[in-house]
Amino acid sequence: MAASPVVIGVDSSTQSTKVLVVDAGTGVVLGSGRAGHVVTGEQGARETDPEAWWDALRASTGEALRAAAVTPDAVVGIAVAGQQHGLVVLDGAGRPLRPALLWNDTRSAPQAAALTDALGGPAEWLARAGSVPVASMTATKWQWLRENEPAVAARTAAVRLPHDFLTERLAGVAATDPGDASGTCWYSTRTGGYDPELLDLVGLDADLLPTVARNGASRVGSLTTAAAAFLGLRPGIAVAAGTGDNMAAAVGLGLGAAGLLDHPVISLGTSGTAFASTRVRPAAPGIAGFAAADNTYLPLGCTMNCTLAVDKVAALLRLDRDDALPGGETVMLPYLDGERSPDLPHAAGLITGLRHATSPQQLLGAAYEGAAFTLLRALDELFTAAGLDPRDTAVRERPLRLIGGGAKGRVWIETIRRLSGRPVVLPAGEELVATGAAALAAGAASGDDPVRVAIGWGAGQGAELPPLERDIAAWDRMESTLGRASGLLADRS
Using the Cα atoms of residue 376, residue 424, residue 432 and residue 261 in order, give the sign of their dihedral: negative
Say whether pLDDT at 1 is over 50: no
**DSSP per-residue string spanning 15-31:** SEEEEEEEETTT--EEE
Binned at pLDDT 50, 70 and 90, residue 198 comes out as very high
**Residue of 253, 273, 261 whose CA lies nearest to 436:** 253
Q: Where are the alpha helices (DSSP H) in 254-323?
A: 307-317
Predicted confidence at residue 386, as pLDDT, reads 72
β-pairing, 211-212 vs 16-23, is unpaired
Answer yes or no: is 191 within a domain.
Answer: yes
Predicted confidence at residue 3, as pLDDT, reads 55
**Residue of 200, 165, 203, 160 whose CA lies nearest to 183:** 160
Q: Which long-range contacts (C-beta less than 8 Å, at least 24 apart) are formed by 477-481?
A: 477/329, 477/331, 477/353, 478/331, 478/333, 478/369, 478/370, 478/373, 479/373, 479/377, 481/331, 481/333, 481/350, 481/352, 481/353
Contact 398, 262 (CB under 8 A): yes
Q: Between 318 and 485, whose confidence is greater? A: 318
In whole angstroms, how far apart are CA 291 and each of 208, 234, 283, 303?
Answer: 21, 32, 11, 19
Answer yes or no: is 80 within a domain.
Answer: yes
For the chain, what is the mean pLDDT? 93
Answer yes or no: is 423 within a domain.
Answer: no
Q: Between 10 and 344, whose confidence is greater? A: 10
Known catalytic residue at 337: no
Round to whole Å and give the CA distance between 10 and 441: 10
- Domains: count for the chain: 1
Write out the residue range of the structural domain in which residue 25 sits: 6-246
- Identify the active-site residue in 164, 180, 195, 245: 245
Round to whole Å and give the CA distance between 486 and 423: 31
Predicted confidence at residue 96, as pLDDT, reads 98
Q: Between 4 and 194, whose confidence is greater? A: 194
Q: Between 162 and 263, whose confidence is greater? A: 162
| Beta bridge pairs of residue 126 | none
Say whether pLDDT at 262 is over 80: no
Round to whole Å and give the CA distance between 493 and 476: 28
Say whether pLDDT at 176 is over 90: yes
Answer yes or no: is 81 within a domain.
Answer: yes
Say whether pLDDT at 50 is over 90: yes
Say whether pLDDT at 259 is over 50: no
Contact 171, 224 (CB under 8 A): yes
Round to whole Å and give the CA distance between 295 and 310: 35
Round to whole Å and give the CA distance between 66 and 348: 44
Predicted confidence at residue 272, as pLDDT, reads 92
Round to whole Å and give the CA distance between 486 and 342: 9
Is the bond into 342 cis (omega within 30 degrees of 0)? yes
Say whether pLDDT at 488 is over 80: no
Say whether pLDDT at 122 is over 70: yes
Round to whole Å and give the CA distance between 191 and 187: 8
Answer yes or no: is 411 within a domain.
Answer: no
Q: Which helix (H) or strand (E) holds 12?
A: strand 6-12
Answer yes or no: is 172 within a domain.
Answer: yes
Say whether pLDDT at 401 is over 90: yes
Binned at pLDDT 50, 70 and 90, residue 492 comes out as low
Round to whole Å and give the CA distance between 274 and 239: 29
Answer yes or no: is 212 within a domain.
Answer: yes
* Average pLDDT for 291-297: 90
Per-residue pLDDT of 11-45, as tens digits, reads 999 999 999 999 999 999 999 999 999 999 988 99
Side-chain half-sphere exposure of 284, counting CA atoms within 13 A: 21
Say whether pLDDT at 2 is over 50: no
DSSP character at residue 331: E
β-pairing, 187-188 vs 193-194, is antiparallel
Round to whole Å and give the CA distance between 25 and 6: 8
Side chain identity at residue 182, one-letter code: S
* Average pLDDT for 335-340: 86
β-pairing, 265-268 vs 288-291, is unpaired
Q: Between 343 and 108, whose confidence is greater? A: 108
User: 359 in helix, strand or coil?
Assistant: coil
CA distance between the termini of the chain: 57
- The angle that helices 360-385 and 410-420 make with each other, rounded to 10 degrees, is 50
447 Cβ partners below 8 Å, 6+ apart?
Answer: none
Predicted confidence at residue 404, as pLDDT, reads 87
Predicted confidence at residue 287, as pLDDT, reads 85
Using the Cα atoms of residue 208, residue 212, residue 217 and residue 221 in order, give the sign of their dihedral: negative
Q: What's 237's domain CATH number? A: 3.30.420.40
Answer yes or no: is 14 within a domain.
Answer: yes
